[in-house]
Structure 1
Amino acid sequence: MAKGKGKAAAARKGAAGGPRAPAARISAQQLYEQAQLALKFDDFDSARMALRKAVKMEPKNVEYVDALGALLAEVGPEEEAVEVLKQSVVLSPDTGYEKYLYLGQLLESPEDALAATRKGVSVLQATHAAAQAAASKEAPLLSKALAAAMCSLCEMLMGLAAARDQEERERQAEASGQGAGACGGAGPSGGGAGLAAVAEEVEHMLSLASTADPNSPEPGQALASLRYEQGRPAEALEALKRSMALWYTPSAKEGEEEDEEGEGAGGSGRGKKADGDDDEAMEDASGSGSGDGSESGSEDEDDGSPSYEFRIESAKLLLELEDTTSTAIDVLEGLIEEDDRVPDAWHLLALAYYSGHQYSEAAEVLAKGQALLKAMGAGPEDDITHVFSDLESAIKEALALEGQQPAQ
């Protein structure tokens, strides 16, 4: 019976015209197009798979390699992203600035990351100049990209300089027998030789960034950070105010406080962009800042406001530079209203209240932040838990001195 069935099947196959013709092989270009379509629907897995196949078929096609490297840089895995991006560098070292900027984010060595970012800025400058000369419609977008890349490079330069200065302070402390703990941070003490060595380059690059994109608050905030590290707080605050005037409008609450107290504090940080007429008000405003870049900033970027992370850094600088805390508080309250799932925002808001001697409010805010940490699964051994605990102890001590009890 079984043999009879096999013969019948074979006969049917023969009657159908013999073996089937092989399916047509999909081309690398078709795979690339499939990936682009998948990306429109945020189907990253399908896009990644298609691009991997396209690159395997045509490993020297820069367009395919660049596309795969960029996607891997965004969604991972990072190790493969670095490998593919380096492949693109070999294929086309003087075109395609994006690969260098991605490598600047992904490379583990700070020196290698800095070199990649510096090369990316150089390639982007050439691309931008060519677009401007040709009056290309891409020129405005390239202007914004150039300003952002220059600011990133400046931040890397300052970060490396600060690390080197810290190492030098620790070395000197050990040599003098004081121990590393005696060094502390540079703070607004004027920095060290490392910062002094890069300061001129950073200032020049930030000036170019401001020229490339006058509406970006990033160069001003980066300059505020530099001036703060140089021990020039008044200039830092002035630079920060100019930066914040590009995105920061006083909230109704802060406006009322200004009327009552006669102070220049105020601003919501709720992602509203100030008009030019608000510049004078901002000059009166108290505050300094630098920013935060968490995922929470995506909605703000859509309406032209800086990212969530950028505004958190602004609040941090405000707390360092401004005598009053009302502006920092208003910025942070706006951020929490926007997204209340960021522990750093809760901690900074509690710190702002504490620094403004509003201890009951600080305790209440900190408790909400600690509840968030618990819900997120943070344990007692985590660094952020210790950071919250330290502030909690300080708040309780301040309340005890005032004869108050922390809110339950």
Structure 2
Amino acid sequence: MDSENVQALETLSGVLLELGDLEGGHNALLKSVELSPDQGHTKYLSLGQLSEGLQALDYYQRGIDLLSKAVERLSEDQELDHEAVAKMDQSNESITLKRELSNACCAMAEIYMTDCCFEEDAENKCQTLIQKGILADPKNPEALQCMSNFLLVKEEIEEAKAKMQESLSLWLPKYQAVREGRLDSSDFDPVEVCPLSYDARINTSKLLIELELYDEAGEVLEGLVEEDDEVIDTWYLLGWMNYLRGQDYWGNSRFYLNNTKKLTAKFGVDNPQILQHAEELLEEMGPGEDGEDENENEINENSKEEEEFESSSGEEMEH
């Protein structure tokens, strides 16, 4: 009906990307940019995700410029009194835009830490972007996590740990309380309980393992297994983490790594290095003591019984 309808093109690109048609989604986004280059930040952020290196940085920057202007427009009306401005700052639109701006800054910073780490003044640009992301949304755990990663790259370990703990404090306690049944999840928006996606929390766990914050890494990874117990990376990371904790935890490590092998046999291997490393670790640790597998199975069964008990108790309380 209208091949130059920008909204239709952007919606189409989202559908095509979800279906795995990266080329079609990319082309729809480029057409949208051609038709409306100065409006709509979302298409630039999507193009940034689909691109690499300097090209990705350029798209993200264009998206950030549009986002920054949108945030400024919400605060520019001098006719509003202070009370009205305060209410406006808490509006859903304002919160959403600031979070998107914060995440986009961190996405650019991550590129400077990886693909473009050898670009001129990359370290300072990276730090400036992370600080801008935190300033845009001080309650964004991903921005604080990005700063932790930056500090870790600089080998400022204690500072990185402190920033990571600050990030976790924004969501992990409430998430744990919901998991343990101390809080009713129906009382909260799911995003309020856990604002990080599954993939983002996998990255969180990787960083926690690097920082040797094993208890926190275990909490995050166990929550991920509860949500989806067929993600190979999650089982592998649990195995790797327990291996690193020392021989007292190797029984747990064997259990998780054997599950990693079972899942790779069932679903195939996206990352052959994970399977190879899992097999190397299992070979290094050996078969374990007699009865170890049985003990692990018993622990697993007990955990299931506890979950069933908590679930039935919750249903009784509701009645």
- Larger mean CA deviation between 152-161 and 337-346 belongs to 152-161
Whole-angstrom distance in 2 between the partners of 1:355 and 1:342: 21
Q: Which structure shows the higher helix fraction?
A: 2
Q: 2:39 aligns with which of 80, 95, 98?
A: 95
Q: 1:123 aligns with which of 49, 52, 66?
A: 66
Give the TM-score normalised by the residue count of structure 2: 0.75
- Conservation of the 8 A alpha-carbon contact between 1:148 and 1:209: yes
Moved over 4 A (4+): 134-137, 267-274, 403-406
**Aligned pairs (5 A) from 1:316-395:** 316-322=206-212, 325-357=214-246, 358-378=249-269, 382-395=272-285
Whole-angstrom distance in 1 between the partners of 2:267 and 2:153: 34
- Conservation of the 8 A alpha-carbon contact between 2:13 and 2:25: yes
Amino acid at match of 2:276: H
Whole-angstrom distance in 1 between the partners of 2:284 and 2:75: 55
Q: Partner of 1:96: helix, strand, or coil?
A: coil
The CA deviation at 1:331 is 2.3
- Conservation of the 8 A alpha-carbon contact between 1:300 and 1:308: no
RMSD between aligned alpha carbons?
3.1
Aligned residues: 275
The CA deviation at 1:305 is 3.0
- Conservation of the 8 A alpha-carbon contact between 1:301 and 1:307: no
Which entry has the higher C-alpha Rg, 1 or 2?
A: 1
Q: Partner of 1:161: helix, strand, or coil?
A: coil
The CA deviation at 1:306 is 1.3
Q: 1:116 to 1:272 in 2, by over 3 A?
A: farther
Amino acid at match of 2:197: S
Q: 1:68 to 1:378 in 2, by over 3 A?
A: closer
**Aligned pairs (5 A) from 1:3-402:** 28=1, 54-55=2-3, 59=4, 61-107=5-51, 109-134=52-77, 138-162=93-117, 164=118, 197-249=121-173, 301=191, 303-322=193-212, 325-357=214-246, 358-378=249-269, 382-396=272-286, 399=288
The CA deviation at 1:148 is 1.5
Amino acid at match of 1:160: D
Whole-angstrom distance in 2 between the partners of 1:300 and 1:159: 31
- Conservation of the 8 A alpha-carbon contact between 2:236 and 2:274: no
Give the TM-score normalised by the residue count of structure 1: 0.60
* Identical positions, percent: 28
The CA deviation at 1:110 is 2.5
The CA deviation at 1:145 is 1.4
Where structure 1 has 5 or more consecutive residues not aligned to the other structure, the ranges are 1-27, 29-53, 165-193, 252-266, 275-298
Whole-angstrom distance in 2 between the partners of 1:111 and 1:217: 26
Q: Partner of 1:157: helix, strand, or coil?
A: helix
- Conservation of the 8 A alpha-carbon contact between 1:121 and 1:150: yes
Where structure 2 has 5 or more consecutive residues not aligned to the other structure, the ranges are 78-84, 184-188, 295-319
